[in-house]
A and B are shown apart, each in its own frame.
Chain A
Amino acid sequence: DAKTTQPPSMDCAEGRAANLPCNHSTISGNEYVYWYRQIHSQGPQYIIHGLKNNETNEMASLIITEDRKSSTLILPHATLRDTAVYYCIVRVPPAGTALIFGKGTTLSVSS
């Protein structure tokens, strides 16, 4: 799996958009970008994934650059409940092997 780089922490005001970046400059052509988050003392939760087109679901949007070397997860209207550690993972689409987590970004949403 390609290596990812994320900022260790970010702050966001409640109600504003939270934009979480991820660099994955060594991504290969068949690898997808996955985002998970972990709220304190809970198991990780799937958010979204994509290959090269931008994706949107009820939780977030995923913007992948044209060269696919970086991506941004966007939480359009952050709430206090979005405070969590966000993990960007690059891998071949569900390969059956375990997800490997990096250090992620701790997002703190404040009122």
Chain B
Amino acid sequence: GAVVSQHPSRVICKSGTSVKIECRSLDFQATTMFWYRQFPKQSLMLMATSNEGSKATYEQGVEKDKFLINHASLTLSTLTVASAHPEDSSFYICSARVPTNEQYFGPGTRLTVT
């Protein structure tokens, strides 16, 4: 299947700093990528849909000014957590849609804000 990577795999930052997470499709072009967040012992929650060359579509309750998504190329989408706080600590997962419309997931990024 298609391969999706995320970088970094884990990051620890201090409260108030911004953190950027990269999601790359390694062997295919992805016009659409999705970002999910997962708190401990909970299911994945969709945060936003990222379309190459256009603004992301955010789910209800997700602050677009705090979770900045950029999809500048067909193989890269980035999620920037602006002014991160401890409550933003979570597991962030991206997925990419292949031309046949199936989704492949990245390995996830563990964010810890101290």
Contact = CB atoms under 8 A, between A and B. Distances in A.
Interface of A: 38, 41-46, 85, 87, 93-104
B54 interface: no
A94 B104 CA distance: 12
Interface residues of B, number: 25
Contacts of B91: 41
**Is the contact region of chain B dominated by helix, strand, or loop, or is it mixed?**
strand
B46 interface: yes
Interface of B: 1, 4, 6, 32, 34, 36, 43-46, 49, 91, 93, 95, 97, 100-108, 110
B107 A42 contact: yes
B93 A96 contact: no
**Candidate in B6, B32, B44, B93 with the most chain A CB atoms within 10 angstroms:** B44
Contacts of B4: 43
A77 B14 CA distance: 45
Given A101-B43, A103-B43, A44 B93 contact: yes
**Candidate in A41, A44, A46, A104 with the most chain B CB atoms within 10 angstroms:** A44
B43 A43 contact: no
A19 to B, nearest CB: 22
16 contacts: A42-B107, A43-B6, A44-B44, A44-B95, A46-B1, A87-B43, A93-B101, A94-B100, A95-B101, A96-B97, A98-B46, A99-B34, A100-B46, A101-B36, A101-B44, A104-B43
A42 B105 CA distance: 9
A46 B107 CA distance: 13
Given A96-B97, A98-B34, A99-B95, A44 B46 contact: no
Nearest to B91: A41
A44 B97 CA distance: 14
B95 A98 contact: yes
